[in-house]
Amino acid sequence: MSLKAILFDFNGVIINDEHIHLQLIDEILIQENLQPQKLQERQTCLGRSDRACFQELLANRGRVLTEESLNQLLSRKAEAYLLELEKLEKLPIYPGVEDLIYQVRSQNINLGLVSGALSKEIEFVLHRTKLTEYFKVIVAGDDITTSKPNPEGYLLAVERFNQKYPELNLQPQECLAIEDTFAGIQAAKQSQMKVIGVANTYPFHMLQRCCNWTVDYLTDLELERVQNVFSGKEPQPSVSEC
């Protein structure tokens, strides 16, 4: 078995924007005459789609919305997010992202992206950073009805790779996911993928026990060692449940 594809998460792995999302969610809750997020709710939202977060936050406050009303909230939040990014002279892309992408491409490994973020948010960032062409498959939050930790997004990414490149015959076990949250890690593991945890959102020691590999920064990732595990040249690292 070889490593055929690496699937990136987006928020918290490619772009350092979690604080922007949390702030905008609070602003929308306040505009709706609701209390902002509690600390535990903020932790719960990490790694999950805006749809899943708003549904839970509103339910916790006794508010029931129609699908149309929920979609309007999501659209307002997405527009506000793009406006915030447009104010920035340089987007807060994590160090090592571009270097890792070039390294992966030199090894003829396919690149994909699986995120709960909306398509227009992902497209805006990838366009601004000139990274669009490298991600052959993108699964966004508006492509699926579920949210991480459900594995649907990762499994759909594999399906799309095989639709686009039938000769690849990609299996989930031949993929590596890069995640920063427990919801994302669980989603990748449930889809039978190996996972790299990058300590952008949670401390290294918290991720280490439930990822195949853990790094403080993407620049610390030793791609050759990872490939050796996939090819059977090195033993697989032990993994515990998150």
**How much is the pLDDT for 122?**
97
- Mean pLDDT over 230-242 rounds to 72
pLDDT in tens, 116-161: 999 999 999 999 999 999 999 999 999 998 999 999 999 999 999 9
Instruction: Report the predicted TM-score, pTM, of the whole model to 2 decimal places.
Output: 0.93
30, 183, 188, 203 from 44: Cα distances, Å: 19, 9, 18, 16
| DSSP H or E run through 5 | strand 5-8
Which residue is it, tokens 């490939």? Answer: 227
* Domain architecture of the chain: domains with CATH: 5-16+93-231 (3.40.50.1000), 18-86 (1.10.150)
Residue closest to 141 by CA, chosen among 51, 46, 23, 38: 51
Task: Give the integer Cα–Cα distance in Å for 161 and 166.
Answer: 8
Condensed to tens digits (0 to 9), the pLDDT of residues 49-73 reads 999 999 999 999 999 889 999 999 9
Q: What are phi and psi of 91, to 5 degrees?
A: -70, 145
Question: What span, in angstroms and rounded, lies between the C-alpha atoms of 195 and 177?
Answer: 5
Give how far Cα 234 sits from Cα of 175, 189, 237, Å: 17, 20, 9
Supply the angle between the helices 223-231 and 97-106 in degrees, to the nearest 10: 40
Residue 237 has pLDDT above 70, yes or no: no
Greater confidence (1 vs 76) lies with 76
What is the average pLDDT value for the chain, to the nearest integer? Answer: 94
Residue 169: other Cβ atoms inside 10 A: 10
